[in-house]
Amino acid sequence: MPEPQAVPKLPKAPTGIAGFDEITFGGLPAGRPALICGAAGCGKTLFATTFLVNGATLYGEPGVFMSFEERAEDLAANVASLGYDLDGLIAAGKLAIDHVRVERSEIEETGEYDLEGLFIRLGFAVDSVGAKRVVLDTIETLFSGFTDPSLLRAELRRLFGWIKDRGLTAVITGERGDGQLTRQGLEEYVSDCVVLLDNRVADQITTRRLRVVKYRGSAHGTNEYPFLIDEGGISVLPVTSADLNYGVAEGVISSGVAGLDAMLGPGGFYRGTSVLISGEAGTGKTMLSSSLIDAACARGERCLSFVFEESGAQICRNARSIGLDLARHEASGLLRFEAARPTLFGLEMHLARMHRDIDRFRPDVVVIDPLSALRGPTSELQATLLRMIDLLKGRGITAVFTSLRQEGVVEAADDLGVSSLMDTWIKLLNVEANGERTRTLYVIKARGMSHSHQVREFLMSGDGIRLVDAYMGPAGVLTGTARLVQEAHERAESLRRRQETERRVRDAARRRAAIERQIAELHAGLDAVADEERLLRDEDALRETALADERDELRARRSRAE
């Protein structure tokens, strides 16, 4: 049987942009033009610059940046904050930047007008550095002098054909048009790859999104993906590519609370699972997660905590009240806090930021405190949380989520719709009785392990978190001072019963002693009677012996007399 022939793959040029190469399965099409389009401020120029810089520094492919709007010095200054040294790359002969000024008033359009001069200028720049990559930013400015659509289309096709003939991987940026991807509506049809960038605002929160509209000759992710632009450059999160083929980590990790570990069959949580800690305000959710962090760092594991309501310094200070020194773990580099207000980003931007930080820090344990701080439409919120959990499980990271449970809220709404995705769910409650509140804890679910179903009271002190047994009586569960009063009452009752038992034991001992004395006296009497009987028998034996002797003597005398 003939061997199946390998399917040829389209050559691709990696961009080096985290996440983008994954959703395009390798990057942009090599030796072909790709169109990056979008509205103002969505990151087109930065995307193109990153493509060139990574090509020159990571993949050994020099590049040419031909700008029709920004001057070379302005472009270098704008991207310097991202760590891109364009001047250094130019000096090293790895990059060439050419600013072409296009003024419509200076262009005389005739039937013989073409872009031959541009090709010569671009070709010279390409040859000067041996470029493999080219950026044209932006194409609308280049064609602003054309009014004849047929001439514009012809020159656009000729430009793209020239790029292909030279074997250049090109990124061409274009501005978003009305009702179409670009202003002219032509570029997306002649480009081999079209990437749409969007800067969307919802509820006064901005989210940047990316979508690969078309990619000739290659499969690609078709969904929208959030992407970040910060001091680390551009990073794209392929959030919708999560699947369920991740493996299962082995081992058990401690919760940091001995009593809670004892409630779980294996003695802790399975490594790589998701743990939800929900409860009302003040029940100790953050302190319980801090105990787990302290135990993990003590084992030498790396922990990353995303906090949305407190700063890392405040959590470290508060943890000292229960005897935990998280600051030393932070100083050692094992613990890192990432604090941000929930309203700082949109939901998917938060997820993209977390994805990037996890990739950089590579933690063993991740804490998200609290999950309920994230705001958004219910469907979008649940979809984001699903991706977040899949992200952590896919990397074998033990994840701890805290969630605020509002008083009076229906139980089904406590978990934000993610309880079914959690492997372990611990609920904390404030029990009100006798004018006080007592913290209690119980395990709702723990997949793959036996666990206690008891409600346990727990105390937080300078010695840490300690679980105590709740009193179960006819009146129900007693906690707090009610439990202490009941325990004191039981101790007093136990003491009374013990004293009564001891008194009765002493009375029985006295009665036993009296009876034993009586028995001793009777035994003495019996002994005296026995002695008297023995004397009587001895006396009787002596008399019988004497009589026998007398009879013998008389018998002897008679015999002599005769």
What was the pLDDT predicted at 472? 60
pLDDT digits (tens, 9 = 90+) for 138-191: 777 766 656 666 777 777 788 888 888 899 999 988 877 665 555 555 566 677
Q: Which of 276, 273, 336, 333 is nearest to 306 (CA)?
A: 336
**Does residue 499 fall inside a structural domain?**
no
Same domain, 303 and 442: yes
Q: What is the mean pLDDT of residues 332-354?
A: 81
The domain boundary, picked from 190, 211, 241, lies at: 241
Assign 133 a pLDDT band (cuts: 50, 70, 90). very high
Per-residue DSSP letter, 281: T
What was the pLDDT predicted at 411? 46
**Does residue 536 fall inside a structural domain?**
no
Same domain, 261 and 114: no
Percent of the chain with pLDDT over 90: 20
Same domain, 237 and 286: no
Residues in the chain: 562
Name the more confident of 133 and 561.
Answer: 133
Assign 246 a pLDDT band (cuts: 50, 70, 90). low
Q: What is the mean pLDDT of residues 15-38?
A: 88
Assign 4 a pLDDT band (cuts: 50, 70, 90). very low
Assign 473 a pLDDT band (cuts: 50, 70, 90). low
The domain boundary, picked from 469, 499, 516, lies at: 469
What was the pLDDT predicted at 350? 78
What was the pLDDT predicted at 365? 94
Same domain, 266 and 234: no
Q: What is the rounded CA–CA span in Å between residue 385 and residue 370?
A: 12
Residue type, 360: R
> What integer best gives the mean pLDDT of the chain?
81
Helix (H, G, I), strand (E, B) or coil at 467: strand
What was the pLDDT predicted at 333? 92
**Does residue 406 fall inside a structural domain?**
yes
What was the pLDDT predicted at 103? 60
What was the pLDDT predicted at 14? 92
Same domain, 201 and 262: no
At residue 536, φ and ψ (nearest 5 deg) are -60, -45
Q: Which of 16, 33, 170 is nearest to 82 (CA)?
A: 16
The number of folded domains in the chain is 2
Highest mean pLDDT of the ranges 213-217, 231-235, 314-318, 532-536: 314-318
Name the more confident of 406 and 31.
Answer: 31
Same domain, 209 and 321: no
* 8 Å CB contact between 430 and 411: no
pLDDT digits (tens, 9 = 90+) for 294-316: 999 999 999 999 998 888 999 99
**Does residue 267 fall inside a structural domain?**
yes
Residue type, 441: L
The domain boundary, picked from 220, 241, 262, lies at: 241
Residue 289 has pLDDT above 60, yes or no: yes
Q: What is the rounded CA–CA span in Å between residue 426 and residue 279?
A: 9
Q: Cis before residue 370, ω within 30 degrees of 0?
A: yes
Pairing of the two strands 95-99 and 63-67:
parallel
Same domain, 208 and 351: no
Residue 414 contacts by C-beta under 8 Å, 6 or more apart in sequence?
278, 403, 405, 427
Per-residue DSSP letter, 217: T
What was the pLDDT predicted at 138? 79
What was the pLDDT predicted at 28? 92
Q: What is the mean pLDDT of residues 359-372?
A: 89
What was the pLDDT predicted at 102? 65
Assign 226 a pLDDT band (cuts: 50, 70, 90). confident
**Does residue 549 fall inside a structural domain?**
no
**Does residue 132 fall inside a structural domain?**
yes
pLDDT digits (tens, 9 = 90+) for 195-211: 999 887 766 667 788 88
Residue 12 has pLDDT above 80, yes or no: yes
pLDDT digits (tens, 9 = 90+) for 435-468: 677 888 889 999 888 998 888 888 888 888 888 8
Same domain, 100 and 221: yes
Same domain, 193 and 267: no
The CB-based long-range contact list for 100-105 (8 Å cut-off, 24+ gap) reads 100/66, 100/67, 100/68, 100/142, 101/68, 102/68, 102/141, 102/142, 102/144, 102/145, 104/144, 104/145
**Does residue 548 fall inside a structural domain?**
no
**Does residue 538 fall inside a structural domain?**
no
pLDDT digits (tens, 9 = 90+) for 72-111: 888 888 888 778 888 899 999 999 988 887 665 544 544 4
What was the pLDDT predicted at 413? 44
What was the pLDDT predicted at 111? 43
* 8 Å CB contact between 62 and 128: no
Same domain, 282 and 311: yes
What was the pLDDT predicted at 305? 94
Residue 415 has pLDDT above 80, yes or no: no
What was the pLDDT predicted at 412? 44
* 8 Å CB contact between 174 and 40: no
* 8 Å CB contact between 190 and 199: no
C-alpha distances (whole Å) from 201 to each of 37, 178, 381, 473 are 18, 18, 16, 57
Assign 63 a pLDDT band (cuts: 50, 70, 90). very high
Determine the structural domain holding residue 439 and report its residue range: 252-469
What was the pLDDT predicted at 391? 80
What was the pLDDT predicted at 182? 57
How many other β-carbons are positioned within 10 Å of the β-carbon of residue 480?
Answer: 20
Measured in whole angstroms, how far is the alpha carbon of residue 174 from the centre of its chain? 39
Same domain, 262 and 366: yes
Instruction: Give me the CATH number covering residue 204.
Output: 3.40.50.300
Same domain, 329 and 365: yes
Q: What is the mean pLDDT of residues 25-52?
A: 88
